[in-house]
Amino acid sequence: MLAPGDLIPDVTLADGRGDRVRLRSLRRAPIVLYFYPRDNTPGCTQEACDFRDLHPDFSKLGARVLGVSADSVGSHERFATKHGLPFTLLSDPEHELLEACGAWQEKSLYGRKFMGIVRSTYLFDAEGKLQRIWPKVRVKDHAAEVLAELSGVPVSSAAKKKPAAKKKPAAKKQPAAKKQPAAKKQPAAKKRPAAKKQTAAKKQPAAKKKAAAKKQPAAKKKR
């Protein structure tokens, strides 16, 4: 198992295109060597995409990123093509580099023990000396943490964005002046009931009319 100050193992592995890569020949530039369990699994895919997204920043620092797992060359090629990975993936089916770095360990799941790859990252300087190890990596923000270590920027400021300045609370609007209640309308003067029309003189019943019409008996003529 490697310790800080040790040289990168002198191991040769195949990349996703089948080309042989000798790690010792990669010196003269910092190397980020990250080990992951398996291609196309959720956590491994997220980690690869995080390194992909920050790859331009690693390149500016002259660093080379290498991903390593026990998957085949063909699996690496499909994985890299599917997610547009701009860095090299190395195939280590015999666990040669994994064991040399200490990333091949006993693991347990639901009480069952087995040998497997422990997600971990190793940072080597331009001379091939190990600078730092991240054992049992948690994927979230890991790529940013490695970049911060490489650039010498504190992790707290590199991985975390400054909180945006708090906006001043908007001035409270003055409550609108309450409208004065409209003056109550004076009730309209009640109209006086129209004077009742004098009822026309009741018509005398017809029989009475006749009686009225009878003339007074004429004065008796003088003989």
Catalytic position from the list 23, 44, 66, 97: 44
User: What SS3 class is residue 96?
Assistant: helix
Strand (E) positions, 17-119? 20-22, 31-35, 64-69, 88-91, 104-109, 112-117
Among 9, 27, 33, which Cα is nearest to 127's? 27
| Structural contact between residues 118 and 35, judged by C-beta atoms closer than 8 angstroms | yes
User: What SS3 class is residue 211?
Assistant: helix
- Active site annotation includes 44: yes
Q: Please state at what angle helix 42-53 crosses helix 142-151, rounded to 10 degrees.
A: 40
Active site residues: 44
